[in-house]
């Protein structure tokens, strides 16, 4: 890590560094600098970081795995990297366990750990990049499962008071790739732990057609084991989504738009191949990937940034390319949005969190 140590409280290990390069702290590998930077290894570190930023009048930005952020420019104030680890069983019954995980635990390692313990439910969410603490912020979801189905509560430190606050399921206001932490509670808390309730008996969720097809193709019977589901999800993801360690990316760059059924019907008349999924509330979810692909953007490369060749929903950047900046990426995203509005009358919403603007 580069930078200069400027603050070290006696008896603690919280080092606050100056002018730190963040390219290894975001999976898009965008080069941007943090004015002040520190690593959080426990709740006491988090509290000190809050105190430090308040005393200096600095803003505080949290980074987890950096897998769902676009760092568009230099980050003023203090940037803290969440590294709080830990797994603690809270309660157990014949059917389920409640386990509290440190916010800095890697998500995929957590899924694997649970499977090894015989705690089920997270298998469809295998191989999602990022940390446990970031998972509730956007209510991560894949292959027919969303985090909220297993979520019990989280603990977070309030930035204004330093108090530890508990958020139960209802407090989080979960939605599609959404929670209160993207709205009213945005930038107001440091999430330190997440408690999940996992099943001790497998209850496979096989509603997602692509998952069903892949399991059938592998000759796996009607009732796959959780491990078989996890392995198959990993295989599909590896085939379709670029590995950020090879091709820097932040997963889906746009949300799948939800539109009125009548608008979807009109579009279908114009575009018979339109990929659309009716929702329980009567709306229709369109595949943003299909729209972007159809509009001719798939594989487009522009001076260090581009649209992935195999998955139009994923924007990519070129490691260490001088043009690969957050600004260039957002300019590309904005051109795509304008074109999709023009061609289909649909406004695409950016999914990752934007920082440094
Ligand atoms: N498609 C195209 N062109 C492409 C890619 C896909 O036309 O280049 C069409 C295909 O017809 C496909 C449809 O779009 O059937 C939907 O694609 P896919 O099944 O890959 O799912 P998605 O809607 O693109 C969502 C999530 C992913 C999640 C997958 C699987 C969002 C924004 N994205 O993608 O989440 O893994 O479903 O459940 O909801 C993420 O959030 O980072 C992420 C990867």
Residue-level pLDDT, tens digit, the chain, 357 residues: 444 555 555 456 689 999 999 999 999 999 999 999 999 999 999 999 999 999 999 999 999 999 999 999 999 999 999 999 999 999 999 999 999 999 999 999 999 999 999 999 999 999 999 999 999 999 999 999 999 999 999 999 999 999 999 999 999 999 999 999 999 999 999 999 999 999 999 999 999 999 999 999 999 988 999 999 999 999 999 998 999 999 999 999 999 999 999 999 999 999 999 999 999 999 999 999 999 999 999 999 998 999 999 999 999 999 988 889 999 999 999 999 999 999 999 999 999 999 998
Question: For residue 1, what pLDDT is reported?
Answer: 47
Q: Is 271 in the pocket of ligand 1 (CB under 6 A)?
A: no
Buried b (16+ CB within 10 A) or exposed e, 8-29: eeeeeebbbbeebebbebbbbb
Q: Is 290 in the pocket of ligand 1 (CB under 6 A)?
A: yes
Q: Is 293 in the pocket of ligand 1 (CB under 6 A)?
A: yes
Q: Could you give the CA distance from residue 204 to residue 211 in angstroms, rounded to a whole number?
A: 11
Expressed in angstroms and rounded, the spacing between residue 289 Cα and the centre of ligand 1 is 6
* Residues that are catalytic: 177, 252, 351
Residue showing tokens 């969303």: 146
The contacts of residue 231 (CB under 8 Å, 6+ apart) are: none
- By the 10 Å C-beta count (0-12 exposed, 13-18 middle, 19+ buried), 41 is classed as middle
C-alpha dist (Å) from residue 136 to 80, 149, 169, 278: 18, 11, 10, 25
Expressed in angstroms and rounded, the spacing between residue 311 Cα and the centre of ligand 1 is 8
Question: For residue 182, what pLDDT is reported?
Answer: 95
Q: What is the DSSP letter of 122?
A: -
Nearest CA to ligand 1 atom 28: 142
**Rg of the chain (C-alpha set):** 21
209-217 vs 226-240: helix crossing angle, rounded to 10: 100
Expressed in angstroms and rounded, the spacing between residue 259 Cα and the centre of ligand 1 is 17
Q: Is 287 in the pocket of ligand 1 (CB under 6 A)?
A: yes
3-state class of 204 per DSSP? coil
H-run or E-run covering 115:
helix 107-117
H-run or E-run covering 263:
helix 261-270
Expressed in angstroms and rounded, the spacing between residue 176 Cα and the centre of ligand 1 is 14
- Report whether 134 contacts 25 (CB < 8 A): no
Q: Is 311 in the pocket of ligand 1 (CB under 6 A)?
A: yes
Residue showing tokens 């709080």: 84
Expressed in angstroms and rounded, the spacing between residue 287 Cα and the centre of ligand 1 is 7
Residue showing tokens 């760092």: 71
Nearest to 156 by CA among 135, 175, 179, 133: 133
Nearest to 104 by CA among 10, 166, 34, 41: 41
- The best mutation among 241, 289, 300 to test binding of ligand 1, ranked by most ligand atoms within 8 Å of the C-beta, falls on 289
Q: Could you give the CA distance from residue 181 to residue 191 in angstroms, rounded to a whole number?
A: 10
pTM for the model stands at 0.92
Q: Is 205 in the pocket of ligand 1 (CB under 6 A)?
A: no
β partners of residue 252? 314
Evaluated on CA atoms 210, 214, 216, 220, the torsion sign reads: negative
Domains, the chain, with CATH or none? 2-82 (3.30.43.10), 87-199 (3.30.465.10), 249-355 (3.90.78.10)
Evaluated on CA atoms 110, 111, 116, 121, the torsion sign reads: positive
């Amino acid at each position: 890590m580069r930078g200069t140590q400027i603050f070290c409280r006696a008896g603690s290990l919280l080092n606050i560094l100056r002018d730190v390069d963040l390219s290894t702290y975001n999976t898009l590998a965008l080069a941007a600098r943090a004015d002040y930077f520190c690593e959080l290894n426990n709740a006491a570190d988090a509290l000190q970081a809050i105190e430090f930023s308040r005393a200096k009048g600095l803003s505080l930005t949290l980074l987890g795995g950096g897998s769902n952020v676009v760092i568009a420019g230099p980050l003023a104030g203090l940037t803290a990297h969440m590294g709080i680890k830990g797994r603690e069983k809270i309660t157990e019954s014949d059917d389920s366990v409640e386990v509290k995980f440190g916010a800095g635990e890697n998500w995929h390692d957590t899924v694997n750990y649970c499977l090894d313990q015989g705690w089920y439910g997270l298998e469809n969410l295998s191989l999602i990049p990022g940390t446990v603490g970031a998972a509730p912020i956007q209510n991560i979801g894949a292959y027919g499962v969303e985090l909220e189905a297993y979520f019990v509560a989280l603990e977070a430190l309030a930035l204004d008071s330093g108090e530890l606050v508990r958020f139960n399921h209802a407090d989080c206001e979960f939605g599609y790739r959404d929670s209160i932490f993207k709205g009213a509670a945005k930038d107001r808390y440091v999430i330190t732990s997440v408690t999940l309730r996992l099943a001790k008996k497998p209850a496979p969720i096989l509603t997602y057609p692509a998952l069903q097809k892949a399991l059938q193709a592998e000759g796996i019977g009607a009732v796959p084991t959780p491990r078989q589901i996890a392995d198959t999800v990993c295989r599909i993801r590896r085939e379709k989504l670029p590995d950020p360690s090879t091709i820097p990316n932040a997963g889906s760059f746009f949300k799948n738009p939800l539109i009125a059924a009548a608008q979807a019907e009109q579009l279908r008349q114009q575009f018979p191949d339109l990929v659309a999924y009716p929702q329980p509330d009567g709306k229709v979810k369109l595949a943003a990937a299909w729209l972007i692909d159809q509009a001719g953007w798939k594989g487009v490369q522009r001076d260090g940034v581009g649209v992935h060749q195999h998955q139009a929903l994923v924007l990519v950047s070129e490691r260490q390319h001088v043009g690969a900046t957050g600004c260039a990426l957002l300019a590309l995203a904005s051109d795509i949005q304008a074109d999709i509005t023009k061609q289909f009358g649909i406004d695409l919403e950016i999914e990752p969190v934007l920082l440094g603007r």
